[in-house]
Amino acid sequence: MINIIDGKKIAKKIRENIKEKALLLRQKSIIPTICVIIVGDNKASRSYVNSKHKACMQNEINSIIREFEENIKGEILLEEIDKLNNDKNIHGILVQLPLPKHINAMKVLEKISPEKDVDGFNPINVGKLNLGIATLIPCTPLGIIKLIESTKEDIEGKNALVIGRSNIVGKPVASLLLNKNATVTIAHSKTTNLKELVAEADIIVSCVGKAHFLTTDYVYKNNATIIDVGNNYKDGKLVGDVDFLNVKEKVKYISPVPGGVGPMTITMLMHNTLLACEDQINL
Ligand code: GUN
């Protein structure tokens, strides 16, 4: 039996819970607030930032957008982040990536106070995640785990295959799966035996970034769960890494694109902002 993992429905439920908690905080005059920084005029970044802003505002999370010119000096950006770090009314800080080439993105991420790092990209939070210490976790990986957990299948002891090794998705999702006692393999562009790995996998997280990369040319376990993180365009249409219509017949659970991981990412950003807020006011 195929089960489509409905990210939209799962995200909606979590958002209702977030809104309720945010309203309770507001009744105590605490307004959970995120500040999103955008540098330059990257169209895709602007669209992501606007979506984040809209979702936050709809769910009682206050969102402030700070825009800076493309040619802003790195040191000025660091000073601005420092001001936000010291502002008690700001609980979460997110710097939209990519940054212009003249700015050292790692220095910027390091500057964000780990307690306010709602993206979970500060190396201190990355280290904590790898050590299995509770911390703010990157939004897309956290959303992926929630989708896998929604199947109610065990993660412990399962073969989990992560295809893609980015700092934003592949590596953190692999850490999260490992922390949940899966046997984790990370495959990437230099992997030579992907077909064998796919055939052995109980859980597959695909973050390759190639439209319909996973086809029925691969053999899947019939009780496998596939989470498709792809965000690709094919013939003007948003599609995932997985040839959904054909592969869905071969596995037990699969998340679609759109309507799978996408709605979870912004939801987890709000979740992290609320967590950061509660932590900072010592709830
Ligand atoms: N650019 C693309 N994805 C992301 C993300 O998850 N966080 C930030 N800050 N920038 C991004």
Mutation test residue for ligand 1: of 47, 49, 94, 97, the one with most atoms within 8 Å of CB = 97
pLDDT for position 3: 94
The rounded distance, in Å, linking the Cα atoms of 249 and 247 is 5
In ligand 1, which atom is closest to the CA atom of 168? Answer: 6
pLDDT for position 282: 83
pLDDT for position 1: 65
pLDDT for position 283: 62
pLDDT for position 2: 72
Mutation test residue for ligand 1: of 38, 43, 96, the one with most atoms within 8 Å of CB = 96
Predicted TM-score of the model (pTM): 0.97
The stretches in the chain having pLDDT less than 50 are none
